[in-house]
Amino acid sequence: MKITVHSSKAVKPAYPGGVAPAGERAVPLTVLDKANFDTYISVIYAFRPPAPANAALEDGLARVLVEYREWAGRLGVDAEGNRAILLNDAGARFVEATADVTLDSVMPLKPTPEVLSLHPSGEGATELMLIQVTRFACGSLVVGFTTQHIVADGRGTNNFFLAWSQATRGAALDPVPVHDRESFFRPRDPPLVEFQHRGVEFKPYEKHVDEKIHAGDEDDEEEVVIHKVHFSREFISKLKAQASAGLPRPYSTLQCVVAHLWRCMTTARGLEEGQSTSVCIAVDGRARMNPQVPDGYTGNVVLWARPTATAGELVARPLQHAVGLINREVARINDAYFKSFIDFASSGAVEKERLVAAADADEMVLSPNIEVDSWLRIPFYDLDFGGGRPFFFMPSYLPVEGLLILLPSFVGDGSLDAYVPLFSRDMDTFKNCCYAMD
On whether both 143 and 238 belong to a single domain, the answer is no
Residue 166 shares a structural domain with residue 252? no
Q: How far apart are the first and last CA of the chain?
A: 42
Q: What's the average model confidence in pLDDT over 62-89?
A: 96
Q: CA–CA distance from 225 to each of 219, 302, 315, 424 (Å)?
A: 13, 27, 23, 6
Quick check: is 398 in a domain?
A: yes
- The residues near 186 (Cβ < 8 Å, ≥ 6 apart) are 342
Q: Is the domain of 136 the same as that of 229? A: no
What is the per-residue pLDDT for 438? 75
Same domain? For 160 and 300 the reply is no
In a domain, 209, yes or no: no
Q: Please enumerate, as own/partner, the contacts of 243-250 that have beta carbons within 8 Å and a separation of 24 or more.
A: 243/319, 243/320, 243/323, 244/320, 244/323, 245/320
| Strand 129-135 relative to strand 92-99, pairing | parallel
* Whether residue 304 is found in the same domain as residue 172: no
Q: Are residues 348 and 263 in the same domain?
A: yes
Number of domains within the chain = 2
Asked whether residue 188 is domain-assigned, the answer is no
pLDDT of residue 437: 86
Q: How much of the chain, in percent, has pLDDT values that exceed 90?
A: 91
Co-location of 165 and 30 in the same domain: yes
CA 272, 274, 279 angle in degrees (round to 5)? 85
Residue 6 three-state SS: strand
The reply to whether omega before 13 is within 30° of 0 (cis) is no
Write out pLDDT tens, residues 99-113: 999 999 999 999 999
pLDDT at 411: 84
Q: Examine the pLDDT at 391 and tell me if it is beyond 70.
A: yes
In a domain, 204, yes or no: no
Q: What is the 3-state secondary structure (H, E, C) of 355-387?
A: EEECCCCCCCECCCCEEEEECCCCCHHHCCCCC
In 12-59, DSSP assigns E strands to: 26-28, 40-47
> Domain of 111: which CATH number?
3.30.559.10
pLDDT digits (tens, 9 = 90+) for 203-235: 998 765 655 555 555 555 689 999 999 999 999
Q: Which residues contact 421 (CB under 8 A, 6 or more apart)?
A: 224, 225, 226, 227, 398, 399, 400, 401, 402, 403, 404
Identify whether residues 314 and 265 lie together within a single domain: yes
Split at pLDDT 50, 70, 90, the class of 353 is very high
Cα 179 to Cα 26: distance, rounded to the nearest angstrom = 12
Q: In the listed set 183, 211, 246, which residue is the last one of a domain according to the structure?
A: 183
Report yes or no on 214 lying in a domain: no
Other C-beta atoms lying within 10 Å of the C-beta of residue 415: 16
Residue 217 is predicted with a pLDDT of: 54
Q: Which residue, 156, 183, 210, sits at the end of a domain?
A: 183
Lowest mean pLDDT among 205-219, 300-314, 385-399, 418-432: 205-219
Give 203's contacts (C-beta < 8 A, 6+ positions apart).
355, 356, 357, 358
Answer yes or no: are the C-beta atoms of 289 and 338 closer than 8 Å: yes
- The pLDDT, as a whole number, for residue 246 is 94
| Amino acid symbol at 59 | D
Helices (H), 300-348: 311-316, 319-332, 335-345
Same domain, 355 and 228: yes
Q: Quick check: is 179 catalytic?
A: no
Assess whether 155 and 228 both reside in one domain: no
Q: Which pLDDT score is estimated for 219?
A: 55
Single residue among 157, 183, 209 that ends a domain in this structure: 183
260 annotated active-site: no
Among 78, 360, 382, 384, which one carries the catalytic annotation? 384
Per-residue pLDDT at 238 exceeds 70: yes
Residue 213 is assigned to a structural domain of this protein = no
In this prediction, residue 427 has a pLDDT band, given cuts at 50, 70 and 90, of very high
78-88 pLDDT tens trace: 999 999 999 99
Does some domain include residue 73?
yes
Mean pLDDT score of the chain, rounded to an integer? 94
Mean local confidence (pLDDT), 7-32: 91
Q: What is the pTM of this model?
A: 0.94
Give the CA radius of gyration of the chain: 22
Domain that holds residue 68: 3-183
Active-site residue among 149, 153, 284, 373? 149
Q: What is the pLDDT of residue 178?
A: 97
Pairing between β-strand 276-284 and β-strand 92-99 as defined by DSSP bridges: unpaired
Order of strands, edge to edge, in the sheet holding 83-86? 26-28, 83-86, 74-77
Do 162 and 101 share a structural domain?
A: yes
In this predicted structure, the answer to whether residue 46 has a pLDDT above a threshold of 80 is yes
108 within a domain of the structure (yes/no): yes
The answer to whether residues 345 and 266 belong to one domain is yes
